[in-house]
Structure 1
Amino acid sequence: MKAHPSTHLPSLRSGYRLLPLLAALGLAGCAVGPHLPAPTAPLPARYNQHAVTGAQQTQHLQWTEGQSQSWWRLFHSPLLNGLIARATRNNPDLAAAQSSLAQAQALEGVANAGFLPQLGANLGAARQRALRAGTNGGFGTRVPGNPYTLLLGSVDIRYNSDVFGRQGYILKDARAQSAVARAELHQAQVFLGGAVAQAVITAASAHAQARLAQAMAKDDARLLTLIRNEYRLGAQNLQTVDEQEAVAEAAAARIPPLRAAASTARHQLAALLGTVPDAPLSLPSLTELRLPAVIPTLVPSALLKNRPDIQAARAETAAAAAEVGVATANLYPNMDISASLGKAAMTGGMFFNPASTLWAIGSSLAAPIYEGGALHAKKRAAMDHWRVATDRYRATVLNAFRQVADALRAVRSADTTYTHSKAAARSAASAYQLAVARYRDGAVDYATLLNAELEAQKDETAAVQARAQRYLDSAALFVAMGDGWWQDPATPQPFGPTAPARSSE
């Protein structure tokens, strides 16, 4: 019996000799980009030049280093709390910010995959017929050969050694972009809470002013009836009747714009809730809202950590710095290591025979030589982008301090204005009632009564407006401090640190 020669796999010893060199190249990876400093900005000792105090007023500030995650609960309105919770679930802008964060995190996973080997497989079959050479009268010709089947299969692996740190900078950029998206989600939460509170307060203020205007219009109508009766009896002249008619008409004319303002605020609230304008909504009245006597206020150093726009600006500078690193690494060669192991046979039986095994191992080095200065220009552009991001960071920080300083001053001013307006409204209402009684007794003339009436209407309206402005300014302070976002966007925390619940109304 004739012995068949044994078949051995091709030796891999020559490929193994390359492994130490390849490992050394992989371990020699280094970052070639510049080490750019972190952005800095001035930190004031306090927000305002003069301390915002006011111990004699009804509201006080409690300095803290922790955010108020659910500051709207300080208004002690279950309806307001429910509206903000509903907006958090259904607001389309907030949903878009959450999707943007998910997208950025997915792209971060793509960048992280660049550090891992890329493994792929190929399997194919082809039926073909090749040409073969032949002779015909001394002239060379090609005639069709016999058809045959070719089975191919291989497993390929490719790895980028990232010698100059390009992939590392790409990952840093992706992580920074995820941080930007996360901060923008937090900013959307802050703005959403503030916008809902503003719409609710504005609607409540318009309703309160409309009800007050209706009451005033009724009083003016009753007084007009009294003056007309006196005119018929000869106790009044026609000028007095005309003057009171003008006052009554002016009072009635103030009602429609207030109702329109309330509807506008309601429509805005419906959009924030992710619903249509005619959707039924239950809103609190102005008297159902309360503010605590103490408002938790962030110290300046804590503002840098709490404001989402500052966090986003800082992450933008990190992303810009990573882009500088990528642009720098692009100036250097890029090395890939690849290997493949496969089979090639003309029959299924031979496909699994060791003799049909194919393998290859190698590396490639691609280096830029001349690209018309484009790579250096891209690096300069990346550096300029980093400088822009750094300047914007400083501008964002300074603007944040300005907004908080303005909000603090507005809160104190609104608190003082509300205190005096409320006292003025009480005094004007008392004076008006006294003037009406004295006019009926004939002790004062119509001019005195009219002046008392107009002053009472003006002061009562100012008191309602001052109360609403106090709520608006308090909400604006929380928004300016960046309060209202949850530490973990996936798990909202409905309760945050709150101040004592005693009311200052």
Structure 2
Amino acid sequence: MKNARYPHGHRRQKAGRSAPGMARLGVLLGIVAAAGCAVGPQPGAPNVRAPAAYNAHPLDLHGGPQRIRWTQQESQAWWSLFHSSALNGYIRQAMEANPDIQAARAALAREQSLIAVAQGGLLPSVGAGAGISRGRAQRTGANGGASYRIPGNLYSLLLGTINVSYNPDVFGRQKDLVHAARARAAISRASLHQSEVFLAAAVSRAVINGAAARAQLDAARQIATADARLLRLLQQEYQLGYQNLQSVDQQEAITAAAQARIAPLQADVAVARHGLAALLGQSPDTDLPMPTLASLQLPSSLPTTLPSALAAQRPDIQAAAAELKVAAAQADVATADLYPQFNITADIGKAAMTGGMFFNPISTLWSLGAGIAAPIYNGGALHAQRRAALDQYKAVSDQYRGTVLDAFREVADALRALQGADTSYQHRLAAQTAAGAALRLAEARYRDGATDYATVLDAEIAYQQDTVAAISARGQRYLDSVALFVALGDGWQPEAGDARTASDAQPHSAIHQSPGAPA
């Protein structure tokens, strides 16, 4: 019978030769083992071809303040690229106090402890017991042919035993359980990393959204103040007879609408602060200073992982690869269940009625035994269980490929969104600048009597709309930068300290790209 191969690269060992007197049992077990010989799934993640570029068309960021820097390593502490001490402090605080992160760390500690539990099955187990009892025996007597029982003497019984039990892992079942435990720990470790990535992104989004809402609130207040000032001017001109009542009413409506936009923006700032407090593990009444949008610098250099290195740092891909190892180990366990299981036991102890006799060699008790249990017939349940484990391995393998493809898609989407946000902001900023200049010119011409109020009204509405749109577009650029780092799997590395981006990747014959190349 050939040894079965298993996904961890080792070959199952054959059981030793049968001792004399157990030849028939050995033949029977050999038949059972031969029936169970099968090849398990081979280890390793499926080969998913890395694309030469993330996007089919070139990515062009030459017109904006950002550039792509291709690398083969992840960007650690990427949030430091925003150069905001407040953001850095909030993320550091969140990593220490966030309940979800603490739960993920506890889950990882549990899985690491279970590795030791599985490894304990490879070693003999030793136990000890001791006891003392006091009792009276009954004696049997005879009187004229009639038997009777009378109380005997009091006696004490001292007992002490040491027992040893060992299950030789002949067919590697326990080793497979250890492999599965290690893989589950790897899943928990990847899940913790992913939780850290998502937490850093959530804190960054809360700060960016809060800063953008604060900027919009400041702009709304300025616009409302300017509207109120223009309203007072129109009211004065109406009293002097230089303006009609319709213009005054229109400006009153615009002023009221501008003031009405302030309260919702205040609520947006509060909502962002409440969300940030929850991420930091604090109650919503905590007073958290919200940085300004101007204090956040747009990362000028975006270290972006090449497609060939993406799978090595995305935590979800790492978790999917660990799931494959778990599935392979479970298939190995199901295969090992088709083989006999061995057990060796040994007991040694003492039994004596006095303390002196307890240490006498003649009071020693011992036993030594060995056992074997082999499946003979179970209605095909064990073979069906093995087929189910192999099918599970196939399903997990397909899920791994899907995870990798989704990772490439998410990075491609993030890069394209980054380009779109940059282009949109440039146009929005130009529109805001032009609208501001047009409004100032219209107000000056109105004061000089060279134009009517309708022109000023149109210019003011356009400026208000362009101002809000420019602030939103600016915040979106920050959010899209965060989304790119999340798609790349970059995240929290507490041992890295400050931001440490990877060096530029060396040219690669198939996938190396320079800024502006297809991405």
Give the structure-2-normalised TM-score.
0.86
Q: Is the 8 A contact 2:79 2:204 kept in 1?
A: yes
The CA deviation string for residues 265-314 of structure 1, in whole angstroms up to 9 with x for no partner, is: 11111111111111122231100000232211011111100111110111
Verify: 1:275 aligned to 2:282, yes or no.
yes
Separation in 1, partners of 2:217, 2:481 = 23
Q: Is the 8 A contact 2:41 2:393 kept in 1?
A: no
Q: Please tell me the residue identity of whatever aligns with 1:261.
A: D
Separation in 2, partners of 1:79, 1:295 = 21
Q: Please tell me the residue identity of whatever aligns with 2:397.
A: T
Equivalent residues in 2 for 1:37-76, closer than 5 Å: 37-40=43-46, 41-76=48-83
Verify: 1:345 aligned to 2:348, yes or no.
no
Q: Give the structure 2 partner of residue 299 of structure 1.
A: 306
Verify: 1:448 aligned to 2:455, yes or no.
yes
- CA shift, 1:144, in A, is 4.4
Equivalent residues in 2 for 1:116-265, closer than 5 Å: 116-135=123-142, 138=145, 142-265=149-272
- Tell me how many residue pairs correspond in the alignment: 472
Separation in 2, partners of 1:155, 1:398 = 57
- CA shift, 1:38, in A, is 2.5
- CA shift, 1:139, in A, is 5.5
Q: Which moved more, 1:142-151 or 1:455-464?
A: 142-151
The CA deviation string for residues 168-215 of structure 1, in whole angstroms up to 9 with x for no partner, is: 110000000010011111111111111110000000000000010010
Q: Please tell me the residue identity of whatever aligns with 2:44.
A: A
**Partner SS state of residue 376, structure 1:** helix
Q: Is the 8 A contact 2:72 2:502 kept in 1?
A: no
Among 88, 113, 125, the alignment partner of 1:81 is: 88
Q: Give the structure 1 partner of residue 516 of structure 2.
A: none
Equivalent residues in 2 for 1:430-445, closer than 5 Å: 430-445=437-452
Q: Give the structure 1 partner of residue 515 of structure 2.
A: none
Q: Is the 8 A contact 1:31 1:164 kept in 2?
A: no
Q: Give the structure 2 partner of residue 13 of structure 1.
A: none
Gaps of 5+ in 1: 1-17, 501-505
**Partner SS state of residue 362, structure 1:** strand
Gaps of 5+ in 2: 1-18, 23-28, 504-519
Separation in 2, partners of 1:130, 1:368 = 46
**Partner SS state of residue 492, structure 1:** helix
Q: Give the structure 2 partner of residue 36 of structure 1.
A: 42
RMSD over aligned Cα atoms: 2.3
Among 471, 478, 484, the alignment partner of 2:478 is: 471
Q: Please tell me the residue identity of whatever aligns with 1:38.
A: G
Separation in 1, partners of 2:201, 2:354 = 73
Separation in 1, partners of 2:400, 2:149 = 74
| Identity percentage of aligned residues | 55
The CA deviation string for residues 129-174 of structure 1, in whole angstroms up to 9 with x for no partner, is: 3444444664555554433222111211111101111101100000
Among 307, 328, 341, the alignment partner of 1:334 is: 341
Equivalent residues in 2 for 1:16-31, closer than 5 Å: none
Q: Which moved more, 1:194-203 or 1:131-140?
A: 131-140
Q: Please tell me the residue identity of whatever aligns with 1:150.
A: L
The CA deviation string for residues 113-143 of structure 1, in whole angstroms up to 9 with x for no partner, is: 1111111111111223344444466455555
Among 480, 493, 498, the alignment partner of 1:495 is: 498
Q: Give the structure 2 partner of residue 362 of structure 1.
A: 369
- CA shift, 1:91, in A, is 1.1
Q: Give the structure 1 partner of residue 11 of structure 2.
A: none
Among 88, 101, 105, the alignment partner of 1:98 is: 105
Among 478, 481, 488, the alignment partner of 2:488 is: 481
Q: Is the 8 A contact 1:32 1:164 kept in 2?
A: no
Separation in 2, partners of 1:185, 1:293 = 29
- CA shift, 1:419, in A, is 1.4
Separation in 1, partners of 2:153, 2:266 = 92
Give the structure-1-normalised TM-score.
0.89
Q: Please tell me the residue identity of whatever aligns with 1:193.
A: A
Q: Give the structure 2 partner of residue 426 of structure 1.
A: 433
Q: Is the 8 A contact 2:100 2:195 kept in 1?
A: yes
Separation in 1, partners of 2:492, 2:157 = 63
Q: Please tell me the residue identity of whatever aligns with 2:262.
A: I
